[in-house]
Amino acid sequence: MDQITSVLILALPLCMFLLLGVFGNKMSHKMAGILGTLGMGVTLILAYSTAFTYFFSGSELFIDAAGNRLQSVVFDHTWLAFTDNLVIKLGFLLDPISAMMLVVITTISFMVHLYSLGYMHGETGFQRYYAFLSLFSFSMLGLVVATNIFQMYIFWELVGASSYLLIGFYYTKPSAVSASKKAFIVTRFADLGFLVGILILSFYTNTFDFVSMTSNPQNVLASTGGAMFMGGSVLTWALVLIFMGGMGKSAMMPLHIWLPDAMEGPTPVSALIHAATMVVAGVFLVARMFPVYLMEVTALEIVTWVGALTALYAAIVACTQVDIKRVLAFSTISQIAFMMVALGVARDTIHEGVGYMASMFHLFTHAMFKALLFLGAGALIHAVHSNDYTSMGGLRKYMPITHITFLIGCLAIAGIPPFAGFFSKDEILVAAFENSPLWGIWMTAVAGLTAFYMFRLYYRIFWWNEPDYEHHGHVPHDAPWTMTLPLIILAAVSCVAGFIPFGELVSWNREAYHIHLNIPVAATSVIVAVCAIALATVMYRKENSLPDKVANSVKGLWTAAYNRFYFDELYLFITHKIIFNLVSRPIAWFDRHIIDGSMDMFATLAHKASGAIKGLQSGNIQSYVLIYLMGALLIGVVTVVCVVIL
Amino acid sequence: MFENILIYFVVIPVLMLGGLALCKNIKQIRAVAVVGSLALVGLSIALLLGYLEQRAAGATAEMLYVDSWTWFAPLNINLAVGVDGISVAMLILSAIILLTGSFASWKIDPLPKEFFLWLILLSIGVFGFFITIDLFTMFMFYEVALIPMYLLIGVWGSGNKNYSAMKLTLMLMGGSAFLMLGLIGIHYHSAPEGQPLTWNLLEIAQNNAIDRNWQYFLFPMTFVGFGVLGAMFPFHTWSPDGHASAPTAVSMLHAGVLMKLGGYGCFRVAIYLMPEAANELAWIFLILTGISVVYGAFSACVQTDLKYINAYSSVSHCGLVLFAILMLNTTAMTGAIMQMLSHGLMTALFFALIGMIYGRTHTRDIRMMGGLMKIMPFLAVCYVIAGMASLGLPGLSGFVAEMTIFVGSFQHTDMFHRVFTIVACCSIVITAVYILRVVGKLLLGPVQDKHHLELTDATWWERLSTITLIVSVAAIGCFPNFFAELIKFTFSENIFKVLGMN
Amino acid sequence: MDINLMFYLIPSLIMFCCGVYGFITRKNMIAILISLELMLNAVDINFVVFNRFLFPGELEGMFFTLFAIAIAAAETALAIAIIINIFRVTKNIDIRDLNKMKF
Amino acid sequence: MDYSQFLAMKQEIGLLVVFLLVFLYDTFMPKKAQNSLSAITCIFFGLFTLAGFCPCLSYDANAFSGMYETSAVIVAIKNILNVGVLIVLIQSIKWANSESQIMRRGEFYELLLVTLFGMYLMISARHFLLFVIGLEAASLPLAAMVAFDKKQYESHEAAVKYILTAVFSSAIFLMGLSFVYGLAGTLYFDQLAFAVAIEGSKSVMLIIALIFVIAGIGFKLSLVPFHLWTADVYQGAPTSVTAYLSVISKGAAAFAFFVVMAQVFGAVYSQVWEWMLYALIVLTITIGNLFALRQRNMKRFLAFSSISQAGYIMLGVIANTTGGLGSLMYYILVYIFSNLAAFGVVAAIENATGKVSMDDYNGLYKTNPRLSFAMMLAMFSLAGIPPFAGFFSKFFIFTSAIEQGSIAIYVLVLIALINTIPSLYYYLLVVKAMFINENETPIATFKSSVSERLGLWICVAGIILLGIVSCFYSSLLELTNAM
């Protein structure tokens, strides 16, 4: 693997960003779009060749004689040296997961670039859009190839910023502005945890480097053993805090609230950032640090709990949402939670750490089919000009390509064989059952819910009842080829991705792992999924009153779920009522009136004192003389008392 | 005397003053200002190169270009100059900000001549402060830098300018009252019994003769004295009012450079000369600066005046400088200096932009504006970049500075310090809140005021000013190690030897 | 009875205090001048008495007294002149009315 | 008697010659030649001042069995005063030649020279008799000068206040002296010092005597609480006289004060008068500042500012070292230039428009930029802003005060330093009035006379150069350190 290729993978998108960002206004839309897409295309080719070289060249750089894959640092350039050991390097770490991520990111990114040529056609700020996409791709690529935790943090922040810019792309729309702000601040809050985690970890390990941290965690982490803080070991704290960063980016409860709002951004952006790549950064982070997490099972248990609760929560909420992008957003949250659970239940002692492999596998397949779903949703929105499924229905006739590809996506996510989601989800369930039946059952139930809400969505869009499209001015139709082509490609990938021998390529200890279907688990999950789909079919295939009845029968739960269990309100309360009104405002008031007031008070006091003693200068000589004499005598007497008597 | 390059940092501004006196019209005034500040930028870059060359050639002295000319012989006061990497960095910063400040005051009105006169006098103080290593001379330049502020704000300011100008001047003078006492005290304990007293920083450090009890007295004096200018809680309140009222270039220079004098002085005098007291009393000031950091950020969250927001954010960021200095280790101190550079540049950028926006909309109330991105995209984009630098986006200067500070501070072995570091870290979230709040209200969203639609985007001199600053911010952000290496002081050994740590 | 130092000092002190009291309480400027004269004369007595009783071999105190008397005369002359000026302007020599300038 | 002793008094004799020349010129020259009286006086005095710098004067000598002493330091302080008087003379030309004063200007010059003569004696005196004669010679004619504006009621009121309180204070001073005499039996400084050392600090009599002496000289210096006459007299007196009062008479008194305290009472320094002075300094600086805060009349304002400046000067006395004396003299020098610049501007404006209120100064910069600049420099120098001379003098006097090193002195200096904040405030008020405040009817643009401008240029040059050019302070300090 030569350095130039790897440098180019990062540099090309960055150059595209600078080029489009600085000179974009001078270019035509077409020029900018094509330039951006071409740049991404070249990056795609380079990334693919890199990944293929890594996985299949058999070079001793990448795989040892025993068949274990190796971590290969292609280059590692010192960027900022804090101390001799704590050094931020910008490097390129090639190992199974980063190679896999390279493929995922470049694929989806390229698809989105292509798709956007059609979707964003004629939008103002088209060049800016492509510039930001390039920036995002650069940041995300930098994140996954990070050789050290600080590099990851750097790019972590950069993806956050590009996500902010892209969510707020329609900056004249107040909702988009506030959504972008929310996304940035919530993830920033999580990043605070990440940062503190890094600080704690690096303080004890004295290194940022992933390879040295993960290849020999026992030694590196030796000094953390004894140190305790507030009841937990330091390592637990550090790992949980680092995981907090992951929770923010990956929208785990309770830091998930930004993701549904992030759907304010252009739909291809949602596909790229908020479905396929950036949101899985948290999973990637835990996976990257997995050997360290294995040192501290408590932290992994927390990961599991957070993941499981989020998965269930998001699935329930997804069942009630009306906005198709929000349904997909909650579904994303839920699916990422699956990956988290998979990591959380994985142990090196159990089944060769199948959870880790499953998680990565699911990450891969999910990226494909969720991008597909989002792009499909984009095509729908493009056609109907609404995010709301109530203004859709019966679209299967008008948009056949979209319909088929969307259906494939739904089947994949529902875990129906032979689509991709089945295989990866199956592995997750296996891992969960291996860890504890509780998680197995729990996750199977969530998988059932997944199938249900996806098909609810599917039926509401493509079946149900057809609204009067003529009345709205135009009849929906399939999108141009730039948009449908990515759909078709992704659909094809979703169909076949499950058959990739993923375990051979990726596993926690980089030894080859042979996937074999665990028939009981697979059968259970498929049966649950099919039942759920059937239920959805009953309820939503034709317009009927059944959904309302169901909703009414569990009215409390339904309303709560519809309002996303009031998390947003809670946050609003905390930010506005507590942070703003009870902290910031009082502090600002305190500053203006107490601190500043006390400074002003000195001035006022001086003036007051000046006014108070003005009587001394009465203009009357006799009082002058009296004061003169009294002053002299007073000083004299005091001196006498002090010097002579004391 | 004139073969030492450093002396030209004072000579050029003095020549500029002379040139200004001869000017007849605004064009000539601009020419003098721009040529002079360009010469200073050039000079500072030449100094940087020369400095690096000497270091590369193996110069190991704490300070280079050291020279000393007798001034007041009976008191052993000298005009002693010398620079290390920190001063070099500060000189570059000052020169850049003076240049951009000159561009930002292209259309200053009324009395342009007087304006530049005071501005240049101020810069004499700043440059002089950074090149000297003699306590007396240093203090003199320090005060020279303070007083022009009064007239600059009072005459060319806006809003409640009389009050603000007076408050700023008096509070800073209050600080320098403590400072003067501290410096004189240091002088009288600068040498062991029987040896001649000195004002020279290097000699005092070498003698290391300040008795510990005296350190307990003198350290707070000097630290608070400089700390007032560094906007340390609770002596920061001059900053919001002062900045809000000051004209653009003055805000830039004041927040960008002058506040750095505080941090630099705390480091160069208080800590460098009295490390034992610094080590033992640090906790008091850590609490104060820690409060500054968080408190400034929270206060900024609810302000509605752009300049107030930025002023409070300066309180927060400058608090971080002092915070890091008090950690007494190389990394944190390097971070502090980088933060000074970074904050200097980005806050200058902020103030420049605010001035430009204010010059167009004639309001600084964010509730009155909105959607400026559509109207003046160039300025708006620059504002976003400045905001991103402020909230610590990697690739811009804020990130590297803050991270160096946090990592450095967290290396402290004491639990208290580390917990406080975490508290300080919280500021990155709050910073994001207020920056994005401003960006959201001011630049994004629908246009608030229909009249604003007729406004124009930046002129060439404004573009030049902002682009210079953005390039500098990005340069630090992208190549931090160059600056870190420049700053990492050789003389740190001196402090740490005393402290017996690191 | 032995006439000692105190027999002179105490009256002189009383004189001085009377002078001070007079200065502070009298309205008429001329009366104030007289009070001042009392004070100065008390000082003169002090000098003479100290010289006579304590340091009889020297004349320093005596000479000092002579000069002091001369100075007092000059002062009085000057003061009278100024008071006359005041009287010309205001037709009044009440000290308490001299308070146009204050605070 | 050895008449060659008079040769030690070269400067006094020179001054007398100048006085006589002026007197004779004023009395006997024909009416036509009278026009140039002011110029002639200035030229005579200028020549005399120049002659004072002749190094042949700087030697140690004494006369009249030690009653009179001269030395390089004493010559230096006299020269400093001469320079100040010269500037006052130049600045007063316009006023002296004005309609109302032209008849009596001769007396003005003569009185002024006599008071200067008195100050010379006060400075050189090493015996209290000579000291008292000097003191009175320096203060009595001043009363006449204060009353000089015959048409102005304020002038008379000021004169009455001055003369009555001055006599009262000299009575107190003499009372104190009589106690001292009673204790020691001598009035020679050197013998007194001996006696004070024997008497020790436990003597009530000595303490009372000391406070009376301090009060007497403190009156001239206008230390609080002996200062109450100052503002009224400064306000009422003609501006040139006020200028003279505020710098020259104060400068001479400060030097004399140092000599008396250090030479006579040096033995009880740390037990007794350090603390008295401590209290007086704190009071003086603080109260002076507090009163100055609220003044609108420029002359009254400068009066209070000069009170608080006197407090700073006293820091040189409390230092009680030769370095303190050097700093004190330097402070006086700088103070002369700064304060005279301020008074010069006030006088110029008063002569041209009759306005002395700070509110009248609003917007002055727009109409009279140069005057405003001169005033601003004076204010900055008084406030101690670098690079103007006032900064250096303040810094050095603080430095000398702290040399002694006790914590109490640190606290004192801190109080003094904190007091610079309100003082800066009121000095800036003047600057603000001129530069910042808007005024619809500002003082019209006027051209000040050559003499006024000359005086101001000298002051401004002094303000700028005295600090930066180090030789002034260094040579003064060398002189005093050689004592």
Contact flag D147-C85 (C-beta cutoff 8 Å):
yes
Contact flag C82-D159 (C-beta cutoff 8 Å):
yes
Q: Which of D237, D225, D335 is nearest to D286 (CA)?
A: D225
**Residue C15 sits at the chain D interface (C-beta within 8 Å):** no
Q: What is the pLDDT of residue A26?
A: 83
Q: What is the pLDDT of residue B127?
A: 94
User: Greatest CA span in chain A, whole angstroms?
Assistant: 115
Structure tokens that stand for B416 in this block: 């208290």
**Residue B237 sits at the chain A interface (C-beta within 8 Å):** yes
The residue in chain A having the minimum alpha-carbon distance to the alpha carbon of residue C25 is A622
Radius of gyration for the alpha carbons in chain B, expressed in angstroms and rounded:
21
Q: Point out the least confidently predicted range of A208-212, A278-282, B495-499, D8-12.
A: B495-499
DSSP state of B159: S
SS3 B205: helix
Residue B502 has pLDDT above 50, yes or no: no
For chain C, the chains sharing at least 3 beta-carbon pairs closer than 8 angstroms are: A, D
Q: Quick one: which H or E segment has residue B80?
A: strand B77-83
Cis peptide before D386 (omega within 30 of 0): no
- ipTM, interface predicted TM-score of the complex: 0.91
User: Greatest CA span in chain B, whole angstroms?
Assistant: 76
Please say whether the structural domain C5-97 has been given the CATH code 3.90.1150.10.
Answer: no
The gap from C-alpha D317 to its chain's centroid, in whole angstroms, comes to 15
Q: Which of D418, D428, D483 would you mutate first to test chain B, the one with the most B CBs within 10 A? A: D428
Q: What is the pLDDT of residue A472?
A: 63
Percent share of chain D, pLDDT over 70: 100
d(CA B114, CA B33): 12
pLDDT band at B130 (very low <50, low <70, confident <90, very high): very high
Q: How many CA atoms lie within 13 A of A389 on its CB side?
A: 28
Chain D positions in Cβ-Cβ contact with residue A599 (cut-off 8 Å): none
d(CA D395, CA B184): 9
Q: Point out the least confidently predicted range of A543-557, A624-638, D258-272.
A: A543-557
Contact flag D172-A632 (C-beta cutoff 8 Å):
yes
Enumerate residues 6+ apart whose C-beta is below 8 A from D50: none
Q: What is the pLDDT of residue C102?
A: 84
Across chain B, mean pLDDT equals 88
Counting one residue from chain A and one from chain B, the pairs whose CB atoms sit within 8 A come to: 128
Chain C positions in Cβ-Cβ contact with residue A613 (cut-off 8 Å): none
Q: Which of D77, D76, D90, D16 is nearest to D46 (CA)?
A: D90
Task: Tell me the per-residue pLDDT of B45-91, one tens digit each, with 9 for 90 and over.
Answer: 999 999 988 888 888 788 888 999 999 888 889 999 999 888 999 99
Q: What b-and-e string marks burial along A435-454, b requiring 16 or more CB atoms within 10 Å of the CB?
A: beeebbebbbebbbbbbbbb
Number of domains comprising chain D? 1
CA distance A606 to chain B (A): 13
Across the range D143-172, mean pLDDT stands at 91
**Residue C64 sits at the chain D interface (C-beta within 8 Å):** yes
d(CA D483, CA D475): 13
Contact flag C100-D187 (C-beta cutoff 8 Å):
no
- Calculate the CA dihedral of residues A136, A140, A142, A143 and round it to 10 degrees: 140
CB atoms within 10 A of CB B74: 17
Task: Tell me the per-residue pLDDT of B422-447, one tens digit each, with 9 for 90 and over.
Answer: 888 888 888 998 899 888 888 888 88
Choice between B58 and B238, residue whose per-residue pLDDT is larger: B238
d(CA A45, CA A50): 8
**Residue C43 sits at the chain D interface (C-beta within 8 Å):** yes
Chain B positions in Cβ-Cβ contact with residue A603 (cut-off 8 Å): 170
Specify whether the CB–CB gap between A221 and A214 falls below 8 A.
Answer: no
Contact flag A625-C24 (C-beta cutoff 8 Å):
yes
Chain B positions in Cβ-Cβ contact with residue A192 (cut-off 8 Å): 425-426, 428-429
Structure tokens that stand for D188 in this block: 């020679």
Chain A positions in Cβ-Cβ contact with residue C103 (cut-off 8 Å): 614, 617-619
d(CA D291, CA D230): 12
- Does chain B touch chain C (at least 3 C-beta pairs within 8 Å)? no
Structure tokens that stand for D32 in this block: 């036509």
Percent share of chain B, pLDDT over 70: 97
d(CA D298, CA A474): 84
d(CA A551, CA A558): 6
Chain D positions in Cβ-Cβ contact with residue A630 (cut-off 8 Å): 225
Q: Which residue has the tokens 């302000």?
A: B303
User: In 3-state terms, chain A is what percent helix, strand and coil (to 5)?
Assistant: 75, 5, 20
Q: What is the pLDDT of residue D401?
A: 92
The residue in chain A having the minimum alpha-carbon distance to the alpha carbon of residue D204 is A640
Structure tokens that stand for B121 in this block: 């006098």
Task: Tell me the per-residue pLDDT of A343-376, one tens digit each, with 9 for 90 and over.
Answer: 888 887 776 777 888 888 888 888 888 888 888 8
Contact flag C23-A617 (C-beta cutoff 8 Å):
no
Q: β-strand A228-229 against A87-94: which pairing, if any?
A: unpaired
Specify whether the CB–CB gap between B132 and B67 falls below 8 A.
Answer: no
CA distance B139 to chain D (A): 9
Q: β-strand B64-72 against A232-233: which pairing, if any?
A: unpaired
Task: Tell me the per-residue pLDDT of A108-138, one tens digit each, with 9 for 90 and over.
Answer: 899 888 888 888 888 888 888 889 989 999 9
Q: Which of A147, A152, A506, A191 is nearest to A360 (CA)?
A: A506
Facing C89 at nearest CB: one of D156, D179, D185: D156
Contact flag D157-C100 (C-beta cutoff 8 Å):
yes
Q: β-strand B77-83 against B64-72: which pairing, if any?
A: antiparallel
pTM, rounded to two decimals: 0.92
Q: Which residue has the tokens 């704290």?
A: A237
SS3 B200: strand
CA distance D385 to chain B (A): 7
Chain D positions in Cβ-Cβ contact with residue A609 (cut-off 8 Å): 290
Question: For chain C, which residues make up each domain, given as ranges?
Answer: 5-97
SS3 A298: helix
Angle between the N-to-C axes of helices A420-435 and A519-540, in degrees from 0 to 180, rounded to the nearest 10? 120
Contact flag A619-C103 (C-beta cutoff 8 Å):
yes
**Residue A615 sits at the chain D interface (C-beta within 8 Å):** no
Contact flag B432-A584 (C-beta cutoff 8 Å):
no
Cis peptide before B234 (omega within 30 of 0): yes
Radius of gyration for the alpha carbons in chain A, expressed in angstroms and rounded:
31
Q: Which amino acid is at D136?
A: E
Facing B173 at nearest CB: one of D326, D420, D435: D420
Chain D positions in Cβ-Cβ contact with residue C55 (cut-off 8 Å): 185-186
pLDDT band at A462 (very low <50, low <70, confident <90, very high): confident
SS3 A232: strand
Facing A624 at nearest CB: one of D228, D272, D289: D228
Facing D136 at nearest CB: one of C46, C71, C86: C71
Percent share of chain A, pLDDT over 70: 97
The residue in chain C having the minimum alpha-carbon distance to the alpha carbon of residue D234 is C101
For chain B, the chains sharing at least 3 beta-carbon pairs closer than 8 angstroms are: A, D
Q: What is the pLDDT of residue A225?
A: 60
Tell me which residues of chain B, numbers 113 to 172, contact chain A at a CB-CB cutoff of 8 Å. Answer: 167, 170-171
**Residue C61 sits at the chain D interface (C-beta within 8 Å):** yes
**Residue C101 sits at the chain D interface (C-beta within 8 Å):** yes
Counting one residue from chain A and one from chain D, the pairs whose CB atoms sit within 8 A come to: 91
DSSP state of A273: I
What CA–CA distances, in Å, run from B380 to A220, A383, B302, B307, B457?
47, 33, 21, 16, 9
Q: Point out the least confidently predicted range of A432-436, B477-481, D161-165, D240-244.
A: A432-436
Q: Quick one: which H or E segment has residue A72?
A: strand A72-81
d(CA A456, CA A445): 16
Count of residues for chain D? 483
Residue D86 sits in which domain range? 3-481
Chain D positions in Cβ-Cβ contact with residue A619 (cut-off 8 Å): 232
What CA–CA distances, in Å, run from D135 to A550, D88, D121, D124?
110, 20, 8, 11
d(CA A297, CA B213): 52
Q: What is the pLDDT of residue A420?
A: 84
Per-range mean pLDDT, top range of A592-606, B230-244, D327-341: D327-341
Contact flag D410-B162 (C-beta cutoff 8 Å):
no
Percent share of chain B, pLDDT over 90: 35
Specify whether the CB–CB gap between D236 and D154 falls below 8 A.
Answer: yes
Task: Tell me the per-residue pLDDT of D50-89, one tens digit each, with 9 for 90 and over.
Answer: 999 988 888 888 888 889 999 999 999 999 999 999 999 9
**Residue A630 sits at the chain D interface (C-beta within 8 Å):** yes
Across the range A479-496, mean pLDDT stands at 85
Task: Tell me the per-residue pLDDT of D332-363, one tens digit each, with 9 for 90 and over.
Answer: 999 999 999 999 999 999 988 888 899 899 98
Structure tokens that stand for A627 in this block: 């004061």
Specify whether the CB–CB gap between B270 and B219 falls below 8 A.
Answer: yes
Task: Tell me the per-residue pLDDT of D411-459, one tens digit each, with 9 for 90 and over.
Answer: 999 999 999 999 999 999 999 999 988 888 888 888 888 999 999 999 9
Q: Which of A545, A520, A547 is nearest to A453 (CA)?
A: A547
Enumerate residues 6+ apart whose C-beta is below 8 A from A199: B406, B407, B410, B418, B421, B422, B425
β-pair partners for B64: B83
d(CA B411, CA A203): 6
Structure tokens that stand for A385 in this block: 């000009």
B369 CB burial (10 A radius; 0-12, 13-18, 19+): buried
Question: For chain B, which residues make up each domain, given as ranges?
Answer: 5-499
Tell me which residues of chain D, numbers 91 to 130, contact chain C at a CB-CB cutoff of 8 Å. Answer: 128-129
The residue in chain C having the minimum alpha-carbon distance to the alpha carbon of residue D233 is C101
What CA–CA distances, in Å, run from B140 to B124, B126, B239, D398, D426?
11, 10, 22, 14, 22
D223 CB burial (10 A radius; 0-12, 13-18, 19+): buried
Question: Which residues on chain D place their C-beta less than 8 Å from a C-beta of chain A?
Answer: 160-161, 164-165, 168-169, 172, 201-204, 207-208, 211-212, 214-215, 219, 224-226, 228-229, 231-232, 271-272, 275-276, 279-280, 287, 289-291, 293-294, 422, 425
Helices and strands (H and E) in chain D: how many: 21, 2
The gap from C-alpha D257 to its chain's centroid, in whole angstroms, comes to 12
Contact flag C102-A619 (C-beta cutoff 8 Å):
yes
Q: Point out the least confidently predicted range of A102-106, A348-352, D24-28, D106-110.
A: A348-352
Across the range D108-120, mean pLDDT stands at 94
Enumerate residues 6+ apart whose C-beta is below 8 A from B428: A188, A191, A192, A195, B391, B392, B402
Across the range B178-195, mean pLDDT stands at 90
Facing C54 at nearest CB: one of D143, D161, D182: D182
Cis peptide before B110 (omega within 30 of 0): yes
Q: Quick one: which H or E segment has residue B163?
A: helix B161-188
Enumerate residues 6+ apart whose C-beta is below 8 A from B144: B121, B122, B124, B125, B128, D385, D386, D387
